[in-house]
Chain A
Amino acid sequence: MFDFLEGYDLLGAFWVTVQLTVYSALGSLIWGTLLAGMKVSPVPLMRGFATAYVNVIRNIPLTVIIVFSSLGLNQTLTISLGADVIEDINFRLAVLALVAYTAAFVCEALRSGINTVPIGQAEAARALGLSFTQVLRLIILPQAFRAVVNPLSNVLIALTKNTTVASAIGVIEASYLMKDMIEAEAQLILIALVFAFGFVVLTLPTGLILGWVSKKVAVKR
């Protein structure tokens, strides 16, 4: 029944999807946290930058961002991110674009998390003489992160699915392979089910595990 899979590197394609997801998740977590920090910082220009960044990025289709990273950064500004084979270059460009895009949503989620922290926490911290970065790093962000595990897990699931857009610049991940297979093979519905199942396998545990974590770490108030 599944002999149409022969000759296709299904696991390899999904492995690329997983790699795209993991690298982009780490990158966007870091960049998103920085952005959230800027958004609440005392420096007006940084606040403005973070706000503008989030507003611009989340209103552009990811497809446009990914195509731009390839066409603009690589083909025009000739950045290759330290790789010299097209395959690697495109993979890294896709990660870069996914990080740039996803970070905007991480930033928004974190900011909503910061909003849930009681004022007294920050006031007490300041009364102890902590500086802004200390307040943020030691008091606010740890509580904010614990409050937004759920939204962040949604961001992660969205990111997993968003990696399919990397096929627009020729990264051979799951959806790229699927398109190839649909053109060449007849078992249309089966192929679709196989790929749908693949993504369910990738995203469902993420949701369940992080949902459990979210309950575990929630700040009881």
Chain B
Amino acid sequence: MSSVLYDAQGPRAKQRNILYTVLFVLGAAAVVWWVYDGLAEKHQLDWIKWEPFFTSSQPWETYIWPGFQNMIKAAFFALIIALPLGALFGIGRLSDHRWVRMPAGFVVELFRAVPVLILMITANAVYAEYTTIDTDMRPLYAVVTGLVLYNFSVLAEIVRAGIETLPKGQAEAAKALGMRKSQIMLSVLLPQAVTAMLPAIVSQLVVIVKDTALGGAMMTFPELLASVRPMSANYGANTIACFTIVALIYIVVNFALTTFASRLERWLRRNKKSKGTAAGGAPETIGTPSLVVDDGRAV
């Protein structure tokens, strides 16, 4: 962060900074010590509770890896089904025809308003009641359905925003070439919008991965979080240890995705700039206004 917000620091400011740093460190240390002490007192840090993860590959192979695979499977299917649907509805909302625009808008707004957990629970119950899906596969179907219904609506908005921010000249030039409306959309606008919105789409993948955990916690979908159940049942209810390990895995996976998304964004922006099309006229701001604001749409 640049120091636009504060002056270069003189001796007094530096001293003050050191004071703040020390106080902050002390406060943090107190909290850490308190947590550590509390956990140790309740024997949650006993080696016997953590040892399975470090001395053997068995818990990883038997519980975590299958759960991890299911998590990826659900997230993957959710994304690839939701993407085309999202593009369709995103375009639908931009249609010239009222009778396309309105229903598309209604559907998107509806699914954006309903919690994904409610969608999953409903899908699960509906599949159990009205279909003959294998009891093994049903949780996966239900989780993917819930994720698709929610995320396609979010992706629709991302695509719409992506198309709307494209320069008008794009559509106009294509029209001048005599392209039909569908051609303009499919071969001019959509490819560019998707490229520009790639970071947002990758960020959405983080949301999807996080939401698969709901399926494990509430819906018997055997993904990563649910693998804690048989695991802790085996190792003497070492729930704290199990949840910590699983949380770390989530952090690593999602951090990789987030980092990838922001790299992608920077790369796209640089590419754009190098072609010399940076918008002129706007005042220089404190930072680069973000293309994508992560607003915690999770769940």
Chain A residues within 8 Å of B, Cβ to Cβ: 39-40, 42-47, 49, 55-56, 58-64, 67-68, 71-72, 76-78, 101-102, 104-105, 108-109, 111-112, 114-120, 122-123, 126, 131-132, 135-136, 140, 148, 151-152, 154-155, 157-159, 161-162, 164-165, 167-168, 174-175, 178-179, 182, 188-189, 192, 195-196, 199-200, 203-204, 221
Question: For residue B293, which residues in chain A have a CB less than 8 angstroms away from its CB?
Answer: 108-109, 112, 148, 151
Complex: A135 Cα to B5 Cα, angstroms: 7
Alpha-carbon separation in the docked complex, A152 to B283 (Å): 24
Chain A residues touching B, majority SS: helix
- Chain B interface (Cβ < 8 Å from any Cβ of A): 1, 3-7, 9, 13, 17, 20-21, 24-25, 28, 35, 38-39, 42, 44, 109-110, 112-118, 121-122, 125-126, 129, 206, 210-214, 216-218, 225, 239-240, 243, 246-247, 250-251, 253-255, 258, 283-290, 293-299
**Complex A-B, nearest 10 residue pairs according to Cβ-Cβ distance, in ascending order:** A105-B296, A115-B287, A59-B254, A61-B213, A161-B115, A154-B295, A132-B6, A192-B122, A61-B210, A77-B38
| Interchain Cβ contacts under 8 Å between A and B, 8 examples | A45-B24, A59-B250, A60-B254, A77-B42, A101-B296, A108-B293, A135-B6, A196-B114
Contacts of B9 in A (CB 8 A): 42
Contact in complex: B214, A115 (CB < 8 Å): no
Contacts of B217 in A (CB 8 A): 63, 67, 165, 168
- B210 / chain A contacts, CB cutoff of 8 Å: 59-62
A165-B117 contact given A61-B210, A151-B293, A182-B125, CB 8 Å threshold: yes
- A154 to B210 alpha-carbon distance, docked (Å): 18
Q: Which residues of A contact B114 (CB under 8 A)?
A: 161, 195-196, 199-200
Known: A45-B25, A49-B24. A40 touches B243 (CB 8 A): no
* Minimum C-beta distance from B136 to chain A (A): 21
User: How many Å from the CB of A36 to the closest CB on chain B?
Assistant: 11
CB distance from B171 to the nearest CB of A (A): 25
A167 to chain B: closest residue by CB:
B218
How far is B299's CA from A142's CA once the two chains are assembled, in angstroms?
A: 29
Verify B13–A42 contact, CB threshold 8 A: yes
Please report the C-alpha to C-alpha distance between residue A47 and residue B17 in the assembled complex, in whole angstroms. Answer: 12
A204 to B121, alpha carbons, bound, how many Å? 22
| A126 CA / B7 CA spacing, docked (Å) | 7
Give chain B nearest CB distance to A199 CB in angstroms: 5
Are B250 and A157 closer than 8 Å at their CB atoms? Answer: no
Complex alpha-carbon distance, A199 and B113, angstroms: 6
Contact A104 B296 (CB under 8 A): yes
Contact residue among B283, B289, B299 (Cβ-Cβ distance under 8 Å from A164)? B299
Give the distance to chain A from B202, nearest Cβ to Cβ, in Å: 13
